[in-house]
Amino acid sequence: MKIYLVRHGLTESNKQKHYTGWTDVELAPEGVAQVEALAAGFSGMKINGLFSSDLRRAIKTAEIIGSGHGLKPEPSPQLREINFGLWEGLRYEEIIASYENEMRRWYDDPFLCAPPGGEDLRQVFARAHSFLDGLWNREDGEGTFVVVSHGGTIRSVLHHYLGLGKNRFFELTVDNAAVSLLEKDAQGTVRVSYMNKRL
């Protein structure tokens, strides 16, 4: 079984480096172009299921990918980005100015520390992993699936399957409209075949 993890295309918030999280924003025109190019990479592939976060930037990304396959995405809140709480909509400089101690604790251990009013990474990974388990445990055990989510959420999944220490989370990079591939073999072992790739 294969699961392609796709980060949504570029948004204006991404361009301005705002912590967007659960804030529901649209793709920027550049983001639409990114995803259209990405969709071409999926054009010759048989896709058995298409899923996305329930936020508009992810749904639109999935719709563009699915358009050439006659597939509409199935949205799920389990695939949302990290909830940044009081940091939503702020830039790093603004967060440091008002929440320096909280930000430093979060960077030191994002799995135990959450932004004020937001989620820690254990919570983010738990919901994403629960969703992915539903795919891994399908009765047929086969198929190719595309899951469109967000940078932080995808990084939490990759971090888990790569078996990295908690201090290495921020070493992972997941660009807009980039793809990472998870594969499960007949023995039930999941491996990261590649990360942050342009198809």
Q: Which of 175, 186, 82 is nearest to 140 (CA)?
A: 186
Give the global pTM. Answer: 0.96
Name the catalytic one among 8, 18, 150, 159. Answer: 8
pLDDT category, 113, cuts 50, 70, 90?
A: very high
CATH number for the domain spanning 12: value is 3.40.50.1240
Share of the chain above pLDDT 70, in %: 99
> In the prediction, which pLDDT does 150 show?
98
Q: How many CB atoms lie within 10 A of CB 60?
A: 21
Total domains in the chain come to 1
Q: Tokens 């967000």 sit at which residue?
A: 150
What is the overall mean pLDDT for the chain? 95
Identify residue 128 by its one-letter amino acid code: A
> In the prediction, which pLDDT does 166 show?
85
Name the catalytic one among 18, 81, 88, 102. Answer: 81
pLDDT category, 176, cuts 50, 70, 90?
A: very high
Q: Which residues lie below 8 Å from residue 59, measured CB to CB, with a gap of 6+?
A: 52, 53, 73, 75, 148
pLDDT category, 148, cuts 50, 70, 90?
A: very high
What is the residue-wise DSSP string for 141-170?
---EEEEEE-HHHHHHHHHHHHT--GGGGG
Task: Please indicate whether residue 8 is annotated as part of the active site.
Answer: yes
Which DSSP letter does residue 192 get? E
Q: Which of 184, 160, 187, 189 is nearest to 172 (CA)?
A: 160
How far apart are the C-alpha atoms of 46 and 67, rounded to whole Å? 13
Give the residues across from 51 on adjacent strands.
74, 147
In the predicted structure, residue 47 carries a pLDDT above the cut 90: yes
Look up the domain containing 103 and give its range.
2-197
Report the pLDDT averaged over residues 86-104.
Answer: 96
